[in-house]
Amino acid sequence: MKIALGLAAGFVVLTLASFLPMQKKKVIFFGDSITQAAVKPGGYIVKVGDMAAAEKLSDRYDFIGAGIGGNKVYDLFLRMDDDVLSKRPDVVIIYIGVNDVWHKRSYGTGTDADKFERFYTAIIKKLQAANCKIALCTPAVIGERTDSSNELDGDLNLYSNMIRNLAKANSLPLIDLRKAFLDYNLKENKENKESGILTTDRVHLNEKGNELVASEMWKVLKAL
């Protein structure tokens, strides 16, 4: 009897489990205009959703965009309570850095390298304190030329190196978009064009660009 009862109880639990909704992972994509556009049709967040669906994993994830145009690392810092922590995410993908470099040129208000690291670290610490899993992205491109002659390549490499080091130092997964974009362009951009391969305008993603970002992110997300 006892054994039978045990088996029966086990059966019931199992049955309940299969009826109960799966606990979904809430994933927030935290970034700038590239991420702001990513929730639109064809955007990389939509495509990550498609990739999850193709593997029948849609019920395991909630994908939420939290991108605002023009944001730099300290904008993320200033709005992370309101836009990220208040939503209690399980995973946060940080994708920032383009404007920290670009705004040096266009507005004179880029971010000093040492300050970039300090604010980035502050964001990581605060997310970790809230028990979020985190993945870090390098900023992909400002210009797609492959011979290191895009005006801001030097600085973009420097800030990407800082993010790579932050990932290593904090044992966090890295989504190295800058490397992925350069590798892709070395194959597909034989004419050394400034844009039109993965971006529409040297910075913002075209369809191929959204696909590449989505697939790089999904690889890392699945494993988290």
Which residues lie near its own copies (CB under 8 A)? Answer: 74-75, 78, 103-112, 115, 118-119, 122, 143, 147-158, 161
User: What is the torsional sign of CA 20, 46, 50, 139?
Assistant: negative
Site of tokens 């964001």: 123
Q: How far is the CB of 54 from its own copies (least distance, A)?
A: 37
Q: How far is the CB of 21 from its own copies (least distance, A)?
A: 39
Nearer to its own copies, 93 or 152 (CB): 152
Nearer to its own copies, 15 or 149 (CB): 149
CA atoms of 84 and 111, how far apart (whole Å): 22
Nearer to its own copies, 11 or 107 (CB): 107
Q: How far is the CB of 22 from its own copies (least distance, A)?
A: 39
Tokens of 212: 């590449």
Q: How far is the CB of 30 from its own copies (least distance, A)?
A: 18
Q: How far is the CB of 105 from its own copies (least distance, A)?
A: 6
Grouping H, G, I as helix, E, B as strand and the rest as coil, residue 63 is: strand
Q: Crossing angle, helix 177-188 and helix 153-169, to 10 degrees?
A: 130
Nearer to its own copies, 136 or 221 (CB): 136
Tokens of 105: 């040129």
Distances (CA, A) of 118 to 104, 204, 224: 18, 26, 25
Nearer to its own copies, 45 or 76 (CB): 76
Nearer to its own copies, 90 or 194 (CB): 194
Q: Crossing angle, helix 98-106 and helix 153-169, to 10 degrees?
A: 150
Tokens of 157: 């490499």
Site of tokens 């490499």: 157
Q: How far is the CB of 109 from its own copies (least distance, A)?
A: 5
Tokens of 172: 């966090």
